Chain A
C-alpha cells in the first residue's frame, strides 16, 4: 500500500446539496459489485475458500437477524434503546473476520457484528441496552473492548494499547472503530497524530454511514475521509463497506502492515445506516425515502447471496439452513432477554474501585440498611 497521491477531491459543501450522493469514486476498493459479480482490484485481492464464503454469509445473516430481534425487543419495552447495525453488516463482519485472535478491537456502541466475530454472546451486548450493565462480556478474554459511548474516545485507547504492543514486541495490532461524525472530534485527530508519531500498530476503521445522527457527512468534512490520512502521514483507503470481501481484503492488508511494523492505516468503509441512529431516532426528518431505496440496491447481504447462488457455492438448502439457524438465534435472544434478571442494587458500589474506599463501603452498608428497613425487605 502507498499513501494515496490523488488530487484532493472536494465534496460539495453547499447545504442542501443532494446527500449522500455516491460521487465519482476512482479509489473505491470493490471486489464484489452490488449485483454480486466478482471483480478484480489492482492492489487488493482476497483468497477465500467456498466454505469461508458460506461462513461469511452466515455471519451476515445471523447478525442481521439478531439486530432485527433487538429492535423488536426495544419496541416491546424489553430494551431501553437499541443502536441498529442494519446496512453495516459487511463492514463489521469483514473487519472482524480480518482480525487475528490476539488483535484487539476497540468498538463504538454499534459494532455488534464485530462482537459476533469475537465470540461475544449477543445477550452480553443486549444486557447493556437493557440497562443491566455496561456490557456483560470479558474484554480481555474476547479481545473486544467494552463499548465506548463518548464519541471517538476509544481511538486513543486503541493507540495507547498499540504502543503497549510495541513495547511488548508483540506481533499484534489494535483495530479502532469510529464513525464519520467522530472524525471531527479532537481526540480522534490526536489519536492519529500519536499513531503516526510513534508508528503504532493501530488501524483506524471508519464506517462512514453518511450521517452523525441527523447531520450529513458534508458538515464533518470537505474532503473524502480517507484522504485525511495523508495529512497525518499514513495510508488511507476507501473501501466499499457493503462488500464483505473488499472489507476483508483491505482490513487484512492494513493489519498485516501493522503487524509488520509499518504503522497505522486509515480505512474508510463507505456504507449506509439503513435504519435509524437508534430506536429513539426518526430518520424521516432528515433524509429522503428515495435515498434509502437507492442504498437497498447495494445491500451487503443480497449481493453476497447473489454471488454464492450464481457461482454454485451455495444452494437453497444452505440458505434455508442459515435462515433456520437465524430463527433459533432470535428465539434464544428473545428468551434470554426477557428472562434476564435485574442486577442487585449493591452492584453499583462493587466495582467503582479496585481497592474499595472506606467511605463507599459505608455508603453501601447504609444503602443495604435503608433497603432492609422496609417491611419485609424489598425484592432483589
Chain B
C-alpha cells in the first residue's frame, strides 16, 4: 500500500500506528493536543486517543522529560515532543543525567524506552533558538541513541521503530523539510533503524549527510554529475550509534570523503566521522576528510542564515578541494 506523504504527515501516521499497536504509548508535549503541535505533527491524535494518551503538558521541558522517566518506570512508552531544538536545554539535565543513565545505574533493571522528538535545523527564517542543531550533545552522551530522518519513508517507519525500541532515542526531524513529499509504502517491512544507507552511487567522492542536508547533498551530487564528477551520497540516518561500515567500504573505493551538517563544525559529528574514517581507511585516502558545516558562531539572525548554512555551492567547493588535493 503506497501513499504520497510529507515528512510531517508521515510522522503523524507513524505515531498513530504506534499508538494503535501499543496502548502504553503516551505522547507528551507543549501544544500537541488541541492544536496538534506547532508543526501539526500530532494533528488529530488527541481527538482520537484522548488526553490521557496525548498530553498537553505544562510549559516546562524538564517536567516533560522528568515525568516521562517516571512513566517509563511504570511501563509506559513516552514520546516527548520538544517544540523547537533550542528549547531542549531546560530538559538537558533530565536527558543527560537521568534518561541516559538509568539503565546503567540500575544495571538493566529499569528500561527507559523514551523517544524525544526534536524538530531541528535552520532555514525557516526563524528567531533565535528555533534553528539549532544540538545532535552532538546527545551523540556524545552514552546511554542515548540518536537518529535523524531525511525523508517521509524514514519518518513513517523510523518513528515506529524508535517507539518500539527499548533504549531512549533522540529523534531528530528536519523541520525545514517537513513539507517534502515522497511515496511511502506503508505495508513494506522497514530496514533497520540504526543503519546508514547509500542513497546515490558514485566513484569519485563519498559525501556524507543526515537530516536536512541529505537533500542538499543529493542536489550537489546531481550538479557535480552534470560536470562529469561522480559522487556517492550516504544518508547516515543513525548518529549514535554510527553505522560506518558502508562508509568505509565507499571511501576505500573513492579515496575521498566529505561530511556535511548544519551544526557547527568544531567537535561536531563530522569530527568524529573524520577521525574514524582516517583510522580505518588511512591507506585508501587520497585527501584528508573534509567537513562542511555551520561556522563556529551562534546561529545567526535569519537574514544571515543562507550564508551560515551549508548549501550546494559550499558542498561542491569542498568536493573540489578534496579532488584537487
Which chain B residues border A138 with CB–CB below 8 Å?
109
Question: Is A164 in contact with chain B by the CB < 8 A criterion?
Answer: yes
Which chain B residues border A353 with CB–CB below 8 Å?
103, 143, 145, 167
Which chain A residues border B265 with CB–CB below 8 Å?
none
Q: Which of A346-376 contact B (CB under 8 A)?
A: 350-355, 357-360
* Nearest chain B CB to A295 CB, angstrom units: 33
A141-178 interface bits toward B, Cβ cutoff 8 Å, 1 = contact, 0 = none: 00001101010010111111111110110000010000
Which chain A residues border B246 with CB–CB below 8 Å?
none
Which chain B residues border A355 with CB–CB below 8 Å?
165-167
* Nearest chain B CB to A346 CB, angstrom units: 13
From A44-52, A188-196, A329-337, the one touching the partner chain is: A188-196
B97 touches A153 (CB 8 A): yes
B98 touches A135 (CB 8 A): no
Question: Is B242 in contact with chain A by the CB < 8 A criterion?
Answer: yes
Return the contact of A354 from the options B52, B57, B73, B108 (Cβ within 8 A). Answer: B108
* Nearest chain B CB to A301 CB, angstrom units: 32
Question: Is B75 in contact with chain A by the CB < 8 A criterion?
Answer: yes
In the bound assembly, the distance between CA atoms of A160 and B70 in angstroms comes to 4
B105 touches A153 (CB 8 A): no
Which chain A residues border B68 with CB–CB below 8 Å?
160
Closest to A166 in B: B52
Q: Which of B252-310 contact A (CB under 8 A)?
A: none
B111 touches A354 (CB 8 A): yes
Question: Is A139 in contact with chain B by the CB < 8 A criterion?
Answer: yes
Return the contact of A359 from the options B105, B113, B167, B242 (Cβ within 8 A). Answer: B242
Question: Is A187 in contact with chain B by the CB < 8 A criterion?
Answer: yes
A352 touches B166 (CB 8 A): no
Question: Is A186 in contact with chain B by the CB < 8 A criterion?
Answer: yes
Which chain B residues border A157 with CB–CB below 8 Å?
66-67, 69-70, 73, 98
In the bound assembly, the distance between CA atoms of A155 and B75 in angstroms comes to 18
A194 touches B74 (CB 8 A): no
Q: Which of B134-163 contact A (CB under 8 A)?
A: 142-143, 145
In the bound assembly, the distance between CA atoms of A186 and B110 in angstroms comes to 25
Question: Is A323 in contact with chain B by the CB < 8 A criterion?
Answer: no
Q: Which of A104, A133, A155, A160 has the most CB of B within 10 A?
A: A160
B105 touches A134 (CB 8 A): yes
B105 touches A159 (CB 8 A): no
A89-109 interface bits toward B, Cβ cutoff 8 Å, 1 = contact, 0 = none: 000000000000000100000
B93 touches A158 (CB 8 A): no
A153 touches B98 (CB 8 A): yes
Which chain B residues border A168 with CB–CB below 8 Å?
74
Known A-B contacts A150-B98, A167-B52; the reply to A352 vs B63 at CB < 8 A is: no
Return the contact of B58 from the options A134, A135, A140, A194 (Cβ within 8 A). Answer: A194
Known A-B contacts A167-B52, A354-B103, A359-B241; the reply to A190 vs B63 at CB < 8 A is: yes
A156 touches B58 (CB 8 A): no
Question: Is B199 in contact with chain A by the CB < 8 A criterion?
Answer: no
Closest to A354 in B: B166
Q: Which of B73, B166, B167 has the most CB of A within 10 A?
A: B73
A164 touches B167 (CB 8 A): no
Q: Which of A156, A162, A167, A360 has the most CB of B within 10 A?
A: A156
Question: Is A184 in contact with chain B by the CB < 8 A criterion?
Answer: no
Question: Is B194 in contact with chain A by the CB < 8 A criterion?
Answer: yes
In the bound assembly, the distance between CA atoms of A7 and B120 in angstroms comes to 48
A160 touches B166 (CB 8 A): no
B107 touches A133 (CB 8 A): yes
Question: Is B94 in contact with chain A by the CB < 8 A criterion?
Answer: yes
Known A-B contacts A354-B103, A359-B241; the reply to A140 vs B69 at CB < 8 A is: no
* Nearest chain A CB to B239 CB, angstrom units: 12
A167 touches B76 (CB 8 A): yes
A163 touches B71 (CB 8 A): yes
Return the contact of B103 from the options A156, A161, A194, A351 (Cβ within 8 A). Answer: A351
Closest to A158 in B: B70
* Nearest chain B CB to A152 CB, angstrom units: 9
Question: Is A311 in contact with chain B by the CB < 8 A criterion?
Answer: no
In the bound assembly, the distance between CA atoms of A157 and B74 in angstroms comes to 10
Question: Is B106 in contact with chain A by the CB < 8 A criterion?
Answer: yes
A193 touches B110 (CB 8 A): no
Q: Which of B60, B68, B113, B194 has the most CB of A within 10 A?
A: B60
Question: Is B223 in contact with chain A by the CB < 8 A criterion?
Answer: no
Q: Which of B87-138 contact A (CB under 8 A)?
A: 90, 93-94, 97-98, 102-111, 113
A139 touches B109 (CB 8 A): yes
Question: Is B62 in contact with chain A by the CB < 8 A criterion?
Answer: yes
Which chain B residues border A146 with CB–CB below 8 Å?
102, 105-106, 110
Which chain B residues border A139 with CB–CB below 8 Å?
73, 106, 109-110
Q: Which of B39-97 contact A (CB under 8 A)?
A: 52, 57-58, 60, 62-63, 65-76, 78, 90, 93-94, 97
Return the contact of B67 from the options A134, A148, A150, A160 (Cβ within 8 A). Answer: A160
* Nearest chain A CB to B146 CB, angstrom units: 11
* Nearest chain A CB to B54 CB, angstrom units: 13
Which chain B residues border A158 with CB–CB below 8 Å?
70
Which chain A residues border B109 with CB–CB below 8 Å?
138-140
A239-268 interface bits toward B, Cβ cutoff 8 Å, 1 = contact, 0 = none: 000000000000000000000000000000
In the bound assembly, the distance between CA atoms of A354 and B142 in angstroms comes to 12
Which chain B residues border A8 with CB–CB below 8 Å?
none
User: Can you pick out 25 interface pairs between chain A and chain B where the beta carbons lie within 8 Å of each other?
Assistant: A139-B73, A145-B73, A146-B105, A150-B93, A153-B97, A156-B63, A156-B65, A157-B73, A160-B68, A160-B78, A163-B70, A164-B71, A186-B62, A190-B60, A190-B62, A191-B63, A193-B63, A194-B57, A350-B107, A351-B103, A351-B106, A352-B142, A354-B108, A355-B167, A360-B241
Q: Which 10 A-B pairs have the closest CB atoms?
A: A160-B70, A156-B66, A164-B74, A160-B67, A161-B70, A354-B166, A357-B241, A190-B63, A157-B70, A134-B105
B: residues with CB less than 8 A from A are 26, 52, 57-58, 60, 62-63, 65-76, 78, 90, 93-94, 97-98, 102-111, 113, 142-143, 145, 165-167, 194, 240-242
